[in-house]
Structure 1
């Protein structure tokens, strides 16, 4: 019974992850008016699923990190109650944010839940040093890096465009092809890369909670979680999608492409090296960098998003600690 509850909890987390995160990769496509919502979410679903499947081969380090290994004693990791508390604490936090349209980080929620459950379970035996170095540092640094790089990249691309005469006419062309069409194609490709990298980075984090169920192969766990994530995105992504697409900054196709390129580069690199960065933080950071250059950033919305980020970790920690204590009493 307890293992079934763990599986259901992981599925709930996967669903809420898809609902809050799946549209983020294609938010610039929708925001720049390149495509409609339905086509954008379908493209996001397809490319996210591809990233999730690829995680089977490239993201084993993330699976290990999010199982709790190194943070708490090994005997606690083998407890289904520990994993259920993490999954439910994070899922409730992400689900609540999704309902109000706030793009928060599932990664941040999981880190908070790991902390809350771990401290409730073992107290001072919790490895605070690993929490800071392996989890918190990448989460704090990544949006700052994304903002800086997207700002620099956009200014560089703008300068290069001005140096090419054929791009500064009423009907701009590049090697004889309409440059807006080339840019739209690159924009689609970049949004697919972001969604792919998100699937690559997020799926292993949820699968890490299932490794104590030895009867389920990790490969099949990755695929099953990927399917549930896809459903969450298809059914419940619209509110967060509108926030990401329309309320952070106004953008054109070139600006959206630049933000996507930086996001995809950073998240893919982090996934391969086992660093638990947040696609949400990186993506919002990239969009903010563009908004600073164009002077179209919506600071009020960005302020609300940052506040939700600050609250994510403590709320997830409290929720997971409550779940753990409740299960402990009931069991």
Structure 2
């Protein structure tokens, strides 16, 4: 049985959706009304912070720091929402407006409930030796914020794919070196963060491949996929809900292990019951569309978990530099704004970016994902959500985009392995075609590695230059 060349184009399409989402970010920010709302929000938060910090020294620097930090938050929210919500909207499981609100709410909850661990790594773990130096430390972090904001905006204007997490980590390291020397950076912690950048896409790829293999075995390869699909997806929803509840409960200090387990079990029972009833109603609507509709509920759950994990992880990009500035501006290292309030403002900034600028990206990416294959999109979404959330609670900042790319790779490699095993005795494709397909995958790997290698030093260099300018 000859191979269908069109089967080998799907992987390229899956991989290109990531770049398409990043390129679409520029177009999503064009409506001037939304830009105006974003500017009003940034100004309002800066005014609120200035009022809350009235009487503090260097009030102007602090207000400017808050404004730049919230600008970063809005940018992050507008760029990354498609990774979470695109599959669910594209599959018709949820409307765009409702989906944006749900993901925005989950972003805020993730920031407040589970954002502390990663924020602590980005502050105490990365540049702990620079803390407590007062004004120089505050200027260092102000330069890091400004450098990351500048580089991200420039990359967006140039349609270049970058990671906001890599940008902020590189900017903090560069500003620390320029301010206090090479010894100011905790290179062991920096190495752990970089190791997380490498491991997280691999874990996401393995998990997405395992999910797709299980879906083929229990649902897609069945002669009648509806009954088995109902059971498999009910279990899947129950497990994902339990995982989200356990991780959310673990974010609270003082919650015992048995209590976390009990909450997780309760979440699993409620999630499974809701899925069982909802899927039964969907199946009753007609078998021809039942399987596609069966995937809708898990896609919604995955989008919400992804929103929670995104808020828990990427909030640190804003909260960590801002926290250091507020703790060192008056040389007392007292937190001028409550740490929870800082996380809340950061999460709200991400949520505003999601609501104002996320819709166009979700429509574009979601439609492309659905045309390719909703089951594969579900596997990628769940793998990305679980990976990002797990690393967030472990205190390691990761790139949600790169984790999503890892999920795409996992699905692609599994599909090729499965296809070759199914057609071992059939005529193979020409060597040139097989080589070209291997080359495409490696080119994407080189793109990702290139982004890791370039983003960090570029942001570090810009931050170092800004430190020198601020000293003048």
Aligned mates of 2:311, 2:123 — CA distance in 1: 18
- Which residue number corresponds to residue 73 of structure 1? 130
Quote the offset at 1:246 in angstroms: 7.3
- Which residue number corresponds to residue 408 of structure 2? 287
Which of 193, 200, 224 pairs up with 1:142? 200
For residues 76-115 of structure 1, what are the structure 2 equivalents within 5 Å? 76=133, 79-115=137-173
Quote the offset at 1:100 in angstroms: 4.2
* Alpha carbons of structure 1 residues 162 and 220: separation in structure 2 relative to 1, 3 Å: closer
Quote the offset at 1:247 in angstroms: 7.8
Aligned mates of 2:123, 2:85 — CA distance in 1: 29
Quote the offset at 1:81 in angstroms: 0.7
Contact persistence 1:22–1:230 (CA under 8 A): no
SS of the residue corresponding to residue 216 of structure 1 reads coil
Which of 245, 255, 270 pairs up with 2:376? 255
- Which residue number corresponds to residue 46 of structure 1? 102
- Which residue number corresponds to residue 13 of structure 1? 72
* Alpha carbons of structure 1 residues 69 and 269: separation in structure 2 relative to 1, 3 Å: closer
SS of the residue corresponding to residue 326 of structure 1 reads helix
Contact persistence 1:18–1:231 (CA under 8 A): yes
Quote the offset at 1:209 in angstroms: 1.8
Rg (Cα) greater in structure: 2
- Which residue number corresponds to residue 161 of structure 1? 219
Aligned mates of 1:173, 1:148 — CA distance in 2: 22
- Which residue number corresponds to residue 58 of structure 1? 114
Instruction: Tell me how large the CA RMSD over aligned residues is.
Output: 3.2
* Alpha carbons of structure 1 residues 271 and 152: separation in structure 2 relative to 1, 3 Å: same
Quote the offset at 1:128 in angstroms: 4.5
Q: Is 1:180 the equivalent of 2:238?
A: no
Aligned mates of 1:46, 1:292 — CA distance in 2: 32
> Which stretch has the larger CA shift, 93-102 or 194-203?
93-102
Quote the offset at 1:302 in angstroms: 6.8
SS of the residue corresponding to residue 315 of structure 2 reads helix
SS of the residue corresponding to residue 277 of structure 1 reads coil
Q: Is 1:202 the equivalent of 2:314?
A: yes
Aligned mates of 1:238, 1:88 — CA distance in 2: 27
Aligned residue pairs total 324
Contact persistence 2:219–2:229 (CA under 8 A): no
- Structure 1 moving runs of 4+ over 4 Å: 100-103, 237-250, 294-306
Aligned mates of 1:304, 1:64 — CA distance in 2: 30
Aligned mates of 2:444, 2:360 — CA distance in 1: 14
* Alpha carbons of structure 1 residues 70 and 292: separation in structure 2 relative to 1, 3 Å: closer
Contact persistence 1:248–1:287 (CA under 8 A): no
- Which residue number corresponds to residue 23 of structure 1? 82
Aligned mates of 2:467, 2:385 — CA distance in 1: 35
SS of the residue corresponding to residue 67 of structure 1 reads helix
* TM-score, L = length of structure 1: 0.84
SS of the residue corresponding to residue 462 of structure 2 reads helix
Aligned mates of 1:247, 1:303 — CA distance in 2: 24
Structure 1, unpaired ranges of 5+: none
> Which stretch has the larger CA shift, 204-213 or 125-134?
125-134
Quote the offset at 1:261 in angstroms: 0.9
* Alpha carbons of structure 1 residues 206 and 12: separation in structure 2 relative to 1, 3 Å: same
* Alpha carbons of structure 1 residues 249 and 327: separation in structure 2 relative to 1, 3 Å: farther
